[in-house]
Amino acid sequence: MTEFLMMHGLTCSVVVSHGEGPPCVVYWGPSLPDDDPNEIAAALGRPLPHATIDVEAPVALIPELGSGFFGSPGIKGSRADGSGWAPRFTESKPPELEDGLVRLFCEDEVAALSYMVELWLPSDRDVLAARASLTNAGNTDYSLSRLSLSLPLPTQVDEILDFSGRWCDEFHPRRTEWEAGAIINENRRGRSSHDHVAVLFAGSSGFDENHGEVYGFHLGWSGNSRLVAERLSDGRRYLQAGELLFAGEVSLDPGETITAPWLYGAYAATGLGSVSRRFHDYLRAREGHPTLDSPRKVLLNTWEAVYFDHDLPTLKRLADVAAEVGAERFVLDDGWFHRRDNDNAGLGDWWVDATKYPDGLEPLVDHVTGLGLEFGLWVEPEMVNPDSDLYRNHPEWVLADPAYELVLGRNQLVLNLAHPDAYAYIFEKLDGLLTSLDIGYVKWDMNRDHVQPVHDGRPGTRAQTLALYRLLEELTTKHPDVEIESCSSGGGRADFEILRHTRRIWTSDCNDALERQRIQRGFSMLFPPELMGAHVGPHVSHTTRRTHDLGFRGAIAFMGHLGIEWNLLTATDDERAQVAELVRLHKKFRPLIHGGDMVRLDSHDEATMTQGVVSRDKVEALFVYARVTTARSSVPDPVQFAYLDPDRKYRAQILALPGRSGDFGRTQPAWMANGSVVLSGRALMKVGIQPPVLDPESALLFHLTEAE
């Protein structure tokens, strides 16, 4: 007999069917605290049209080809004799329920498989987390190439927002009308990737930041992934997500269990912004998330300042200037280890380069810490250059197919962390560095895709990903005070699972404020500002050659976890004073930026982009208004804010950041000339306030405070 159970989050409810056939989410949407799940399920019961099989196969959590589900099956696999490829499951024991967690159990005695699905929706959250574990209950191996979970979507959801991207253009939004058929997003790069991130939003037609029903999804996994959003010919819609497994990648021994990554989903009836805030709240509630008690340290990173050209006296002077401008952390990027003079050599040889640092790193670390700054170090542990002692001694430790010519990426190969000796070597080297030096921060990089990643004769991306997690876990357990940043050629590894082990994501290698404004907006769909590495680079961007004044660069970096990535030794005294002022202001507003609710505004006008934070009690807000291009109209539209308390009075004024060039047209708006304007939240949201005329590629900060 089919039974139904109901779970309730803060503002959403989920109805799950179980008992007969595979368990399904039959409803997921706005809270229905007073309704009986049996009645909801009865109301949604579907008739049979002509010319179909006689029992409609449900969009189960693990949909079944064997039951006649013609969309994407949740399990793909078989045994050597060809059996087990179309299993059909029934409940094997009643669900277990505890504190917002439901465990559902199923088996197929014919295929000799069983699975457990966990659904987690605590009453104080609004993110539904789900994952599946599959066990081979037979006595032969079961070769598995898919274990994915599916969640149904209601029919009013007919527009998709997902993201493409590339190096220096992460989280590029793509809006699609959801016609019949499937949108499939497959990532085979061995990292969460720049171009196929496992993130998708599905919403009602025309949904925007503050309107429309929106469902958001993310697969928490740092390896390969596959997302499918399908609209079936019978009208049903679903989202399916799981790890992308290569042929032969997983073979379950008799009795063996595999656990798939967590799939996260959030629903809101009030637009995309609300869904993002739900994801942010979820991350913020997780153990290990940076808290306001230990403010995010402003850092100076040496990469765009000196690249591989490390010279102790210069680096010491750079640290002096970093301290002068108020930085709290000094991160020594690539170039410090054995023979690392360019990107051709050295990866794998994780000891200090004796030519650049004859007395080791201690003199620099002592100098930096003596200035009161924390010392941070760049590493790329999952990689090896063919020109390295490590490779010369252990060519068998690479994650590749030795039968073929090796494919290089940035002159490097992937080191097979699932190889116990390679793992032990890397652990020992990193542990040694963290033990012997006063290191508070690690920038953990990963700069190439997997190509023919072979471990133990099989595809090895999954094994590598699990070994990476294990390595991070072991290191952070042994060195709990070290903060790790996830970097992968910029933002190529941004996902919820890597965030179990790291506390910051390097958003993009692009420090061009214009590009960054859009990249950061995309990044903020999932991640809150305190996790978003945002650096002020030099006037001329190193990745685009665009020139921007400090006012614009500073305004865009201001709203994340601020850093400086610029050789301040070449900056003028005025510029250093301006950077110092920017850092001072950032520190002042850091509790608001890193603790408030993130809000993106919609704009009718493509020339502007506005996003900001509103304090949780809604008494204060900070918005960056960026003029990104020239516009058709000579006077910009009023800025209509969002997410304010309609009944509260706010004083709105401009927060002057240093280094702004350009003027405000012939006259300023009257309210600006007066210094401020006082309006209700309602008026600020419905009427808005007139911004001044701004040059393209410049920005202003609006500061709203409660007015008496």
Give the C-alpha separation, 369 to 329, whole Å: 9
Q: Does residue 289 contact residue 527 with C-beta atoms inside 8 Å?
A: no
We find the least distance from the C-beta atom of residue 488 to ligand GLA, in angstroms, to be 7
Query: Cβ contacts of residue 574 below 8 Å, gap of 6+?
Result: none
478: its two tokens: 């042994």
b/e map 143-156, b = 16+ CB within 10 Å: bbbbbbbbbbbbee
We find the least distance from the C-beta atom of residue 67 to ligand GLA, in angstroms, to be 46
Mark residue 102 as left, alpha or beta (left: phi above 0; alpha: psi -120 to 50; beta: remaining): beta
675: its two tokens: 């210094």
308: its two tokens: 């591989």
Give the C-alpha separation, 552 to 545, whole Å: 15
Which residue among the candidates 108, 126, 349, 445 is catalytic per the annotation?
445
The verdict on whether 359 is a catalytic residue reads no
Nearer to ligand GLA, 341 or 474 (CB): 341
Nearer to ligand GLA, 461 or 486 (CB): 486
Nearest one of 624, 622, 598, 597 to 610, comparing CA atoms: 624
Nearer to ligand GLA, 168 or 183 (CB): 168
Tell me the three state secondary structure of residue 76. strand
Residue located via tokens 């100098």: 367
Tell me the three state secondary structure of residue 545. coil
Nearer to ligand GLA, 183 or 487 (CB): 487
252 bridge partner residues: 142
Q: Does residue 16 contact residue 24 with C-beta atoms inside 8 Å?
A: yes
Query: 532-536 and 504-506: which strand pairing?
Result: parallel
Written as one letter, the residue type at 61 is L
What are the two backbone dihedrals, phi and then psi, of residue 681, each rounded to the nearest 5 degrees?
A: -55, -35
DSSP annotation string for 608-647: EEEEEEE-TTSSEEEEEEEE-S--SSSSPPPB---SS-TT
DSSP annotation string for 194-242: SSS-SEEEEEETT--SSSB-EEEEEEE-SS-EEEEEEE-TTS-EEEEEE
* Diameter over CA atoms, the chain: 82
Nearer to ligand GLA, 162 or 445 (CB): 445
694: its two tokens: 């701004």
Mark residue 348 as left, alpha or beta (left: phi above 0; alpha: psi -120 to 50; beta: remaining): left
We find the least distance from the C-beta atom of residue 619 to ligand GLA, in angstroms, to be 37
Q: What sign for the dihedral angle of Cα 449, 452, 457, 458?
A: positive
Strands (E), 323-457: 329-332, 374-379, 383-384, 413-414, 441-444, 454-455
What are the two backbone dihedrals, phi and then psi, of residue 164, each rounded to the nearest 5 degrees?
A: -105, -160
Give the C-alpha separation, 512 to 532, whole Å: 15
We find the least distance from the C-beta atom of residue 379 to ligand GLA, in angstroms, to be 10
If residue 266 lies in a helix (H) or strand (E), which one and from where to where? Answer: strand 262-268
Written as one letter, the residue type at 492 is G
Give the C-alpha separation, 677 to 691, whole Å: 12
Give the C-alpha separation, 465 to 670, whole Å: 57
Contacts with ligand GLA by CB under 6 A lie at 303, 333-334, 378, 445, 447, 487, 489-490, 506, 509
We find the least distance from the C-beta atom of residue 489 to ligand GLA, in angstroms, to be 5
Helix and strand element counts for the chain (H, E):
13, 37
We find the least distance from the C-beta atom of residue 660 to ligand GLA, in angstroms, to be 27
Nearer to ligand GLA, 487 or 613 (CB): 487
Give the C-alpha separation, 178 to 181, whole Å: 8
The verdict on whether 509 is a catalytic residue reads yes
Give the C-alpha separation, 88 to 109, whole Å: 9
Nearer to ligand GLA, 257 or 543 (CB): 543
579: its two tokens: 């950077």
Nearest one of 142, 191, 226, 227 to 506, comparing CA atoms: 191
Nearer to ligand GLA, 120 or 303 (CB): 303
We find the least distance from the C-beta atom of residue 368 to ligand GLA, in angstroms, to be 18
Nearer to ligand GLA, 306 or 577 (CB): 306
Which residue among the candidates 333, 495, 509, 512 is catalytic per the annotation?
509
Residue located via tokens 């969309």: 71
Nearer to ligand GLA, 169 or 333 (CB): 333
Q: Which residue is nearest to ligand GLA (CB)?
A: 334
We find the least distance from the C-beta atom of residue 491 to ligand GLA, in angstroms, to be 9
Nearer to ligand GLA, 273 or 538 (CB): 538
Nearer to ligand GLA, 303 or 357 (CB): 303
Catalytic residue annotation? 445, 509
